[in-house]
Structure 1
Amino acid sequence: MGYSEFNLYFGDPHAHSNFSRCGICYGKNPFRRDLFIHVDVINDYLKKFGLDPAESLDILYEYAREKGKLDFVAVTDHDFSMSDQAWGIMKKKADEWYSPGCFVTLVAYEWTSYAYGHRNVYFYSEDAPLFRCVDYGEHPGRKRGYTPKDLWDFLRKKGVRAITIPHHPSLTQFPVDWSYYDPEFDRLVEIVSLWGVFEYFNNPFQCVTSDVLPRLFTVDSLEYGYRLGFIGGSDSHDCKPGSNVGCTMVRNVPKDLKLNSLSRYFVPYFVKNPLGTGLAAIYAKKLTREALFEALFNRRVYAVVGERIKLEFKVDGRIMGEELRFKEPGHGHLIEVRVEAPKEIDRIEVVKNGKLIFRKVLEGKTIHNLRFTDDEKPSRRYNYYYVRVVLKNGARAWSSPIWVIYEKLGEIEATLSQPVGIILENKGANTLRKIQVAFLREFKCREKMRSNVTGMLDYGAFFWTEKTTVDEVMLTVRFKSPKPLNFRGYIRLYGFERYTVKPINFAITKYGGDLFYDDYHGYIEWDVTPSSHVNFLDTSNVKGLDLRIKINPFIESHALVEILQGGELDLQHTIVNGKTVAKTPFKITLNEGLHDLNTIYKIDELKPGSRLSLKIPPETSYILIHPSRIDDFGTQARLITLKQS
């Protein structure tokens, strides 16, 4: 299947009318809010003051079709403030403006959970039920409400075809909780909107009108193994979908705001993405709701901002959104890209597994075809590629990923042999290198800490480690206080292979809440205040971080930590694995390396199908092999128990 089988349609899948309380379309009184209005639209606001919210839908659809020149649009008004009657009007208006083959209106709404993140819900047909994130009359800023799983269970029970698309995932105001993911519904993620670019942490156009959290961006979600395509949307609230001109600029924060020390950007008014508004480009066979929904579900879509860039992207002949599966690597992968842009192209970049692997810089071209082969041998089973296009004027496009999955790479099968030996055979398709095999009398695995570790003291900082597997350690960090007490500090990791960080019970607010910084190379910093009660959802007297750390069990690894409580050192209230610390910075051992060794073997390589026989020394209780296999994200160790010590 190729791109020639489809037509390309541009549209805005994320727009709001005055049925959203925060909508500022014509009809709203602009003088009741602290905002700036573009001079070109002042008269329109004055003339249309008092307009019925339903009429703002007509204004929005007309603008999208006539001035925005869009092929499709979705009005995604907020669920919690929408009555059943308003939802009925929205569906009715969508049907009135739907013109198959000319202009498509998708039936949708925004599931507006503050606690779990915002997701737009799109329906295959107009038979669309409404499931609010909180019960009607309640506010998601005051109640945690229903979970994404509740939403998906509801949609399944109703038997409707729907897609849920998370957006602005890393904003502290309503961060997406990535522990919730359902591949049946979560097919895409909105990578760009008027809020900014959400590709990766510290990208040059990430949101400046809210604090953001690392580990919650689009690339992070892909690194969790999620199959998500990319989409762009405006998230406009002024009834002008597809417009790059911001008509209004609303005050962003209260005047007496206090910032977190780790805030990287701050503006008092809502400054929109300087690149413009996001749009979605969909490859579909025809311009109908059904065809567009099918394309969205299959991730045959990409995101643009600033310009309507035409983009084609293939890996080994497969198009964006698709998945290739291989039993073994065999050969390199052919990457093909075609770009047609209305303005001059600056560069075309190919990203693999979150890292830039190819860049082509161009001069004076608006059309370019690119071909190259990625010959790098796979180091993990789960892989993805996507393309980023940047124009000279800053406009951008992001293809949806194409996934390349290897069913079986290197994998050692261990078989005990007589009289006393072990046979190692590589049953995988990749050569395993730098293998270490240790014969151990003992293997220490840290005992699990008791569940009420933070109950040791009324307040303080608590750190403890648990080995979840032979090559993975969970470092749990908790800060506790019955009254507001600020905790600041850092962790620097040594001897790790990879790691993730998850914030726990952070305040959900635009600015002035809890923050952490992560350089993705082992340095994590935080500024967290338990019992801060900055809003109704900020209720916890215990907050913290969970660090899941992949290690090589053969080598020593540790964390170096420094922490201040209320701006001071407090060693008596700093607990590591159940004991107070004697000094700061202090060291937390993650892995001691190997002790009480009988014998250790180092094997340069073990090719596919190769076998190696080793003699087991007397008094051996455990055999440790690293790497023993290549899993989804890298190497994995294996511990074989011969007898209980």
Structure 2
Amino acid sequence: MHKLGQLSATLGKSVSAGETGTWEFHYEAGPAGIAIGGSLRIWSPQNHAYRLRYYTWNFGQISVDTRSQSRLTASIANPGDTAVPHILLSVAGSPLREHETATVIIGDTLAGAEGARAQITAAREVRFKAEVDSDGSGVWIGLPECPTVKVLASEASHFDIAIPAAINSKRNQALITAKDEFDNVCGHFNSRSVQVETQPPCPSVPSIVHVRSGNGRILLPAAAEGRFRIIARDRANGLEGASNYSQRDFLSDFNIYFGDMHAQSGFHFREPEFGTTNDLIQYARNVQGLDFIGSGDFVTSFYGEGRGLQWWELKKKHVKHNNLPGEFVTILGYEWPSPYYGHRNVFFPGDDAPLYRFGAADPQERLWWYVDTQRGRDTPPDLWRFLEGTGAVTIPHHPNADSDRSAGEIHPERRIKAWHAPLWDYEPDNEMEPLIEIYQGRGSFETDDLSHWVKLGGFGRSVQDWLARGCRLGFVGGSDDHLVRTSPAVIFPDTLKLRGGLTGVLAKELTRDAIFEALRNRRTFTTNGLRMMLDFSVDGESMGGTRSLWDASMPRRVFCKAVGTDVVESIELIKNGKVIHTHYGADVYETMVYTDKSLARSGDYYYARVIQANDGIAWASPVWLEVKEGKRAMFG
């Protein structure tokens, strides 16, 4: 036994995600005991993985029983919405001596309270953490062995179906995945009677598919024309689902490819047991059916001459090995976590990249994402100079959020924020930084005003604020899930069902070079996780581009078409931050055409916001105007 004691639990080998019940933690004091004023605290698993409470365990009503002379009190500390709760067991009356025990009951229902609730994310194995302050001095020492449990998916509730936006000979499979209400893959689900329907009818697609261990695949006709989708039903188990639409001729010059531009592996928090970069890639490709993925773990996680650099080399190996032109594209990257200038995702076009090193970062910090820097040091221009010649792009993420009002992360020793809303002490680099994250698992950052989709803001750093400063930024989205998943379908189950975001790119082919060419040229759109297809242009100039005019009075024809996954209720045209036209729709396919006859100014921009009946939303990257008076011969 450890000198500070040992902790066990009645959890068994496994629980189901979201399961409610009553469980017990048994603590036996070690030789050091716990003095009067000392404490034991028990942390729920994944307190490093994501700070928002819905991902972790809810202890419910707790009580304590003891076989000692001590007077013990049990409480839940940090019970706020943005903190991970832990159980605090305090000793009073007399010390807790060696071999004396205390039992903490979570989910105690004797007083009519509901039981405790397990975390909602499935995991191979999660570990509770116990720490002892043996003398009340505030110095906590962790117990080396703590209870672990496997978290299984709960009962399957629906099918998640993904098909390529444009079916061809290499991208010709539909993925059918059985998932529970929390978006976990139900590996225990098996069915030989899943009925398949295609719209329109397609005789070459089988009418029955087998789903084994939660997954099924259907070979699709590479020559499918028009809009096409799949519906799957398992009547015996009450499951169904519908895919996104595929349409080969939706665009004349490009294909649409979907990816997650903000995904993390277990390396992000130095916990590869939650999953490596390879695990993340396999989920993106074989569960979500994405076309590409940008992996952005904290750059500080790879510091140090030991495990950090080993993980970086392993990550590069996984990215290189899984990059399959024409089938799936992987993009190497990391997250640059400045506490003053905002977090940026950095992505590279090749299989190798230099690691940016913050001047005063301490890789041994308990909270390793913390960077001990100062305003004016490690600035975005410093980052851009470091990246010169690499071909990298940088992307600000959660640009209008602040750690005091979102994750609540304040370093316990230094009392400094994990991240501020970015400070604008620098000029934007429109070449190195062509994109901005408009949506992710925390919601949208489009506007400064809180709304249906905008859950964090009020700092004057919204996407529209960046655009108003003259930043020429296209739109991307991602999950920022921290749990080795891409674009999970349910993020805030107690409020709006926000999803992780997706980035759609308009590219000639599915290769890393083609995806990067589209990213650099801002030929992108973003959705809140649903695979809507968008086309947006001004006088034929596609999203992300610049329309040159030789006369400010020239009218501009703005065009947008959308294929939704549900009825497209509206297409809103935004010019310079204001809605100037709304097209109302009643079908999954809608087209908007609008002519702007107002005087044009250089720097004016347009973008489209598309809203579906099922809360789906998408944003097309802007098109900018450049007025060159007197140059009619060049542009006429």
With the shorter chain as reference, the TM-score category is 0.5 to 0.7
Match of 2:433 among 164, 168, 186: 186
Q: Say which of 85, 90, 100 aligns to 1:34.
A: 85
Cα distance in 1 between the residues matched to 2:341 and 2:486: 26
Question: Equivalent residue for 1:357?
Answer: 580
Equivalent residue for 1:65, pick from 285, 289, 295: 285
- Corresponding residue number in structure 1 for 2:339: 114
- Residue 382 of structure 2 aligns with an amino acid whose one-letter code is D
Distance 1:371 1:76 in 2: 38
In the alignment, what sits opposite 1:93? 318
Aligned to 2:380: 148
Inter-partner Cα distance in structure 2 for 1:370 and 1:281: 19
CA contact (8 A) 1:386 1:402 kept: yes
Please, which of 379, 390, 404 is the counterpart of residue 160 of structure 1? 390
Point out 4+ residue stretches in structure 1 off by more than 6 angstroms: 28-32, 48-51, 270-273
Counterpart of 1:93, as a letter, is H
- Distance in 1, matches of 2:622 and 2:507, equals 17
Q: Which amino acid aligns with 1:66?
A: N
2:424 & 2:543 partners in 1: Cα distance?
23
Q: 1:176 pairs with 418, 422, 425, which one? A: 422
Match of 1:224 among 464, 469, 486: 469
- TM-fit CA distance, 1:236: 1.1
Aligned to 1:392: 613
Whole-angstrom distance in 2 between the partners of 1:56 and 1:30: 24
Indicate the structure whose relative CO is greater, using CA pairs within 8 Å and at least 6 residues apart.
1
Counterparts of 2:386 and 2:274, CA distance in 1? 27
Q: Secondary structure at the match of 2:424?
A: coil
Which of the residues 588, 593, 600 maps onto 1:371? Answer: 593
Please give the residue correspondences for 1:47-446 in structure 2 after superposition, counting only pairs within 5 Å: 47=150, 52-53=272-273, 55-82=275-302, 83-137=308-362, 140=370, 142-144=372-374, 145-156=377-388, 159-173=389-403, 174=419, 175-180=421-426, 181-205=428-452, 207-208=454-455, 212-246=457-491, 274-363=497-586, 365-378=587-600, 380-408=601-629
Judged with a 3 Å threshold, the aligned counterparts in structure 2 of structure 1 residues 72 and 272 are, in CA distance, closer, same or farther, namely farther
**After alignment, is 214-223 or 117-126 more displaced?**
214-223
Q: Quick one: distance in 2 between partners of 1:114 and 1:349?
A: 35
| Alignment-mate amino acid for residue 214 of structure 1 | F
For residue 302 of structure 1, report the CA deviation from its aligned partner. 0.6
Q: CA deviation at 1:62?
A: 1.5
Residue pair 1:133, 1:140 contacting (<8 A) in 2 also: no
- Residue identity in the other structure for 1:152: W
Partner of 1:238, secondary structure, is coil
| Root-mean-square deviation (Å) | 3.3
CA contact (8 A) 1:128 1:160 kept: yes
Q: What code does the residue aligned with 2:402 have? A: T
Q: Judging changes above 3 Å, is the alpha-carbon distance between structure 1 residues 19 and 274 closer, same or farther for their aligned structure 2 residues?
A: closer
Say how many residue pairs are matched. 364
Cα deviation for residue 402 of structure 1 reads 0.3
d(CA) in 2 for partners of 1:273, 1:407: 46
Partner Cα distance (1:340, 1:205) in 2: 22
Match of 1:532 in 2: none
Aligned with 1:366: secondary structure?
strand
Contact 2:490/2:497 (CA < 8 Å) preserved in 1? no
2:276 match: secondary structure:
helix
SS at match of 2:515: helix
Q: 1:98 offset after TM fit, Å?
A: 1.7
- TM norm structure 2: 0.53
- CA gap of 1:136–1:29, structure 2 versus 1, over 3 A, is farther
Deviations 1:452-484 (A, max 9, x none): xxxxxxxxxxxxxxxxxxxxxxxxxxxxxxxxx
> Matches of 1:385 and 1:100 in 2, distance apart?
33
Change over 3 Å in CA distance of 1:52–1:120 after alignment to 2: closer
Deviations 1:256-311 (A, max 9, x none): xxxxxxxxxxxxxx979733111100111111111111110000111001411100
Q: What is the distance in 1 between the residues matched to 2:435 and 2:495?
A: 23
Partner secondary structure for residue 614 of structure 2? coil
Structure 1 residues 186 and 205: alpha-carbon distance in aligned structure 2, compared to 1, 3 A threshold? farther
Q: 1:19 touches 1:54 (CA, 8 Å); kept in 2?
A: no
Note if contact 1:349-1:388 (Cα within 8 Å) is conserved in structure 2. yes
Relative to 1, partners in 2 of residues 1:384 and 1:19: Cα closer, same or farther, differing over 3 Å? farther
1:19-78 deviation per Cα after TM superposition (whole angstroms, max 9, x unaligned): 996469xxx998995397545726765348998448432322221111111111121101
Q: Write the distance in 2 (CA, Å) between the matches of 1:298 and 1:130.
A: 25
Residue type of the alignment partner of 1:279 = L
Find the residue that maps to 1:111 and give its secondary structure: strand
Inter-partner Cα distance in structure 1 for 2:371 and 2:336: 13
SS of 1:296's equivalent?
Answer: helix
Cα displacement (A) at 1:405: 1.5
Q: Write out per-residue CA displacement over residues 402-457 of structure 1, whole angstroms, 9 at most, x where no aligned residue.
A: 00111359xxxxxxxxxxxxxxxxxx99xxxxxxxxxxxxxxxxxxxxxxxxxxxx
What is the rounded CA distance, in whole Å, between the counterparts of 1:84 and 1:230 in structure 2? Answer: 32
**Measured at CA, do residues 276 and 61 of structure 1 come closer, stay the same or move farther in structure 2, by a change above 3 Å?**
same
- Alpha-carbon offset, residue 207 of structure 1: 5.0
Q: Secondary structure at the match of 2:402?
A: coil
Cα distance in 1, alignment partners of residues 357 and 46 from structure 2: 15
Q: Which amino acid aligns with 1:89?
A: L
Q: Which runs of 5+ in 1 are unaligned?
A: 1-17, 250-269, 410-427, 430-645
TM-score by length of 1: 0.52
Aligned partners of 1:199 and 1:217 also within 8 Å = yes
Give the superposition deviation at 1:148.
0.9
Report if the CA contact (8 A) 1:196-1:272 is conserved: no
| Aligned partners of 1:309 and 1:341 also within 8 Å | yes
CA contact (8 A) 1:170 1:217 kept: yes
Residues 295 and 394 (structure 1), Cα distance of their counterparts in 2 relative to 1, 3 Å cut: same
Q: Secondary structure at the match of 1:286?
A: coil
Report the CA distance between 1:100 and its aligned residue: 1.5
